[in-house]
Amino acid sequence: MTFLSYLISGISLGSIYAIIALGYTMVYGIAKMLNFAHGDVIMVGGYMSFMATTNFGWPPLLSVLFAMGVCTVLGILIEQLAYKPLRSAPSLAVLITAIGVSYFLQNAALLIWSPNPKSFTSVVLFDSVRLFDGKLIISGTTIVTIVACIIIIVALNTIVNKTKVGKAMRAVSEDKDVAQLMGISVNKTISITFAIGSALAAVAGVLLCSAYPILMPTTGAMPGIKAFTAAVFGGIGSIPGAFLGGILLGVIEILGKAYISTQLSDAIVFAVLIIILLVKPTGLLGKKVLVKV
């Protein structure tokens, strides 16, 4: 029974990593850049939802939509101001700019909301589920997180594979120049990708803060790094890969803590990651790209 509840904790944590990782992987797959500011957009999402529920007294669902709205705008804004001018620059230049944006968001949050942590009220209102005479308790937030993660992955898969926008995304991902020649607006497609990624970040932020109800300007930093790891782990650019990578990372983290050592839980996570990459050098579900001369 203990194992089962550890497993559920792991899947719950992993679902949050997965949602964040999906944002990373979408942007990477289409714009070919590592958006290190993604973790901080999560934090902004958390603060928006917090303000909406606590300061304005809005209902939880509305607060989520509000957070998604603000983050979408923020994501597009960041993309237009900081990343778009660098479209033709080397990818590392964009990476550094993304880091600059990350510093900016963190420090702006520090000034706006003060460094004092805020206690987040979960947006999930229904009670925990008790199974086996209360031996196994699954909180409402856990259930919502897992369900939300599944809905998001299904929705994303549908968007990317079944819609016209998705087709454009795939085309841009394959070859920007050719896509442009085919009449696809590359800039618009990338903006849409950022919008989706940032909206996902908002959802991740709200869920992260609902599950672990504390909000600080640095809230998004570590989950951001972990989710980035998860995205690469699953095979960067691959949507099912990000999902699988996120879930696995969460489960390994919790089980590592439970059965090996709480002191070294992160070391265990990263060691497992290295070992798996040795076996699968392009991530779990990454495409094996054949390089020709």
Site for other proteins in 57-116 (CB under 8 A): 82, 85-86, 88-90, 92-93, 95-97, 99-101, 103-104, 107-108, 110-111, 114-116
> Rule CB under 8 A: is residue 265 a binding residue for other proteins?
yes
Q: Rule CB under 8 A: which of 13-32 touch other proteins?
A: 13, 28
Which stretch, 59-67, 170-178, 182-190, 281-289, contacts other proteins (CB under 8 A)? 281-289
Helix axes 2-31, 186-211, angle to 10 degrees: 160
Between 32 and 167, CB nearer to other proteins: 32
Closest approach of Cβ 205 to other proteins, in Å? 13
Q: Rule CB under 8 A: which of 114-133 touch other proteins?
A: 114-121, 128
Between 168 and 238, CB nearer to other proteins: 238
Between 168 and 273, CB nearer to other proteins: 273
> Rule CB under 8 A: is residue 4 a binding residue for other proteins?
no
Closest among 37, 73, 46 to 212, alpha carbons compared: 46
- What does the alpha-carbon distance between residue 26 and residue 170 come to, in Å, rounded to a whole number? 10
> Rule CB under 8 A: is residue 40 a binding residue for other proteins?
no
Q: Rule CB under 8 A: which of 221-240 touch other proteins?
A: 221-223, 225, 228-229, 232-233, 236
- What does the alpha-carbon distance between residue 38 and residue 225 come to, in Å, rounded to a whole number? 9
Closest approach of Cβ 142 to other proteins, in Å? 9
Between 149 and 211, CB nearer to other proteins: 211
Q: Rule CB under 8 A: which of 157-196 touch other proteins?
A: none
> Rule CB under 8 A: is residue 292 a binding residue for other proteins?
yes
